[in-house]
Amino acid sequence: MAIQLMQGNTAIGYGAIAAGCRFFAGYPITPSTEVAELMARELPKLGGKFIQMEDEIASMAAIIGASIGGLKSMTATSGPGFSLMQENIGYACMTEVPCVIVNVQRLGPSTGGPTSASQGDMLQARWGTHGDHQVIALCPVSVRQAFDLTVAAFNLSEKFRTPVLLMADEIIGHMREPVELPAFSTIQQVERVVKETPGEYIPYRNAPGDVPPMANFGTGYRYHVTGLYHDPLGFPTARLDEIDPWIERINRKFDDHLDEIIMVDEDKMEGARIALVSYGASARSARHALKVARRQGVRISMVTLLTVWPFPETVIERLADEVDCIIVPEMNLGQVALEVERIAGRKKVTRVNRANGEMVTPQMILNAIEGK
């Protein structure tokens, strides 16, 4: 594609299409509505389906059903809508149904500030549903990255049979940058492959490989899907010898493949005693502050988190061994900073927070750097 001025939400929509998304169900909500608008316009041209649902609960249920039926599916929301989706996100985790949920974060809680920026949903992304399960959450820093990480979200979702969250924010969603997207025909897509016959197929087998293949309904494969703990065939069970292996597998399929899931950008400087750790729009301010500080002679490193969940513990552990201070700028009251503190120790971490709908500025970060 030629270089064009593109909005972040538009890039997310095109990323979904390039990744093979052919079903979108959603309910309009600021600041994510442009994603739905693009999908409503473009999906019918490709033989895909767009449905505006009555609310976000139904939207999440619809994309689960569409995915089970064989379509790569996505929804997009923000704030209160993301809260409404939590029960069905948990259902998708329990039933191991691949789908992508875009959350363009806005100021909260409740209705909050619909047009204001925030990164206040990061802990909700990890812990929003009840019970014990893992989740994948990605955070773009630019418009082009909004496209790339949407593609990655679909591929990770299909590869690991799991819902994946794209945690953008209002600034990334609504900003415009010149971008040149790759030809969609060159985009690598992860597809479902089932080698077993319908009579041999076990939808939730607890066997080596961690991720059982997913068969699409309507293709001759019949199996039970339930939010209850289930046996390898999908039927409800209370037997510990069936529940425990499932719990172990559902966690192992993430833990054994962190190198395929976790993405970070590292800009290390030899001899640095200070480091910045950030994500999303806040990482843009951090990057500017890094450049200014280096021009002033400060030796400083930076790690940008593209994958926030699972948290890149090994990366932060390494960084904590290299520097004396880690500064974490984010548009909330310290949600990801809690994870950095857990790994590096509270005394080594300095928070730079803003939770009023405005960006963390480079000067706020420079002030923290100068204080060290």
Dig out the tokens for 80 from the structure. 């209160």
pTM above 0.95, yes or no: yes
How many residues would you count in the chain?
372
Q: What is the tens place of the pLDDT at every residue in 331-368?
A: 999 999 999 999 999 999 999 999 999 999 999 999 99
Residue 1 has pLDDT above 80, yes or no: no
Task: Give the SS3 label for residue 199.
Answer: coil
The average pLDDT across 178-196 equals 95
For the domain made up of 264-370, the CATH class stated in words is alpha beta
Burial of 50-63, coded b for 16+ CB within 10 Å and e otherwise, reads: bbebeebbbbbbbb
Q: What is the tens place of the pLDDT at every residue in 78-135?
A: 999 999 999 999 999 999 999 999 999 999 999 999 999 999 999 999 999 999 999 9
In this chain, the answer to whether the domains covering 4-186 and 264-370 adopt an identical fold is yes
The average pLDDT across 31-51 equals 98
| Tokens 């802990």, located at residue | 123
pLDDT band at 188 (very low <50, low <70, confident <90, very high): very high
In whole angstroms, give the CA distance from residue 340 to residue 337.
5
Strand pairing report for 136-138 and 307-309: antiparallel
Q: Under 8 Å CB-to-CB from 267, ≥6 apart: which residues?
A: 290, 301, 302, 303, 304
User: What is the topology classification, in CATH, of domain 4-186?
Assistant: Rossmann fold (3.40.50)
Q: Where are the domains of the chain?
A: 4-186, 264-370
Residue 2 has pLDDT above 90, yes or no: no
Q: Under 8 Å CB-to-CB from 284, ≥6 apart: which residues?
A: 141, 142, 171
Q: State the Cα angle at 267 between 359 and 15, rounded to 5°.
A: 65
